[in-house]
C-alpha cells in the first residue's frame, strides 16, 4: 500500500475544488447551447379561446431573424421591432369590435434581443386582441374584423 504525504494532498484540494466548480458552471451553458433556447429573436405564441378548462388552443413559433414560423411573421416581427419587443407597447390598430364577450387568452414566451419575454393577457374577444396586439397573435391568417379586405373595397 502506498502512502501519500499529507501536505501534497492538502495542496491539491484547492485545485481540485476549483476544477469541480468550473465543470459545474460550464455544464448549464452547454445544456442551453444544445438547442433548448430559441436562436435570436423568437417567441412561442399561443391563443386559447374560451376558458382554460374547455378552450381551444392554437400556437406557433415566431422567429424574426429571418421572419418565419408564423403565417404573418414579417408583419409580427415589424410590430415587435417597433415596440422594442414589448407586446403591451405594440401600436393599437383601429377596429370596430363588438361587445360580445368571447374571451381569448394570448401567451408569449421566449427572447427578444437577449431579454426574456413572458406575456399573458385575456381579451374580451378576438377582435380586441388583434386590435391591441397587431399581427403578433394573428395566427391562422386572421385579419382585423371591421376593416375591409381587398375584395370588399368598393370601386370608385
Query: How far is Cα 47 from Cα 55, in angstroms, rounded to an integer?
Result: 10
pLDDT digits (tens, 9 = 90+) for 40-98: 678 999 999 886 666 688 888 999 888 888 888 899 999 999 999 999 999 999 989 99
All cell numbers assigned to 118: 413572458
7: which residues sit within 8 A by CB, 6+ positions away? none
152: which residues sit within 8 A by CB, 6+ positions away? none
**What count of other Cβ atoms lies within 10 Å of the Cβ of residue 140?**
9
Kindly report whether the global pTM for this prediction surpasses the value 0.85.
Answer: no
In this prediction, residue 37 carries a pLDDT of 44
Band (pLDDT 50/70/90 cuts) for residue 144 is very low
Q: Are 87 and 147 in contact (CB under 8 A)?
A: no
Band (pLDDT 50/70/90 cuts) for residue 5 is low
- Rounded to the nearest angstrom, the gap between the alpha carbon of residue 32 and the centroid of all alpha carbons in its chain is 17
Query: How far is Cα 42 from Cα 136, in angstroms, rounded to an integer?
Result: 12
Amino acid at each position: 500500500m502506498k502512502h501519500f504525504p499529507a501536505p501534497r494532498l492538502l495542496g491539491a484540494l484547492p485545485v481540485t475544488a476549483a476544477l469541480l466548480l468550473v465543470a459545474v458552471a460550464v455544464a448549464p451553458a452547454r445544456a442551453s447551447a444544445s438547442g433548448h433556447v430559441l436562436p435570436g429573436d423568437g417567441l412561442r405564441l399561443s391563443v386559447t379561446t374560451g376558458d382554460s378548462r374547455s378552450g381551444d388552443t392554437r400556437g406557433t413559433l415566431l422567429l424574426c431573424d429571418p421572419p418565419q414560423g408564423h403565417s404573418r411573421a414579417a408583419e409580427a416581427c415589424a410590430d415587435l421591432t417597433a415596440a422594442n419587443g414589448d407586446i403591451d407597447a405594440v401600436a393599437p390598430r383601429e377596429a370596430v369590435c363588438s361587445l360580445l364577450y368571447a374571451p381569448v387568452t394570448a401567451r408569449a414566451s421566449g427572447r427578444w434581443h437577449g431579454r426574456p419575454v413572458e406575456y399573458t393577457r385575456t381579451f374580451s374577444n378576438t377582435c380586441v386582441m388583434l386590435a391591441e396586439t397587431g399581427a403578433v397573435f394573428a395566427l391562422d391568417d386572421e385579419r382585423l374584423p371591421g376593416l375591409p379586405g381587398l375584395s370588399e373595397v368598393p370601386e370608385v
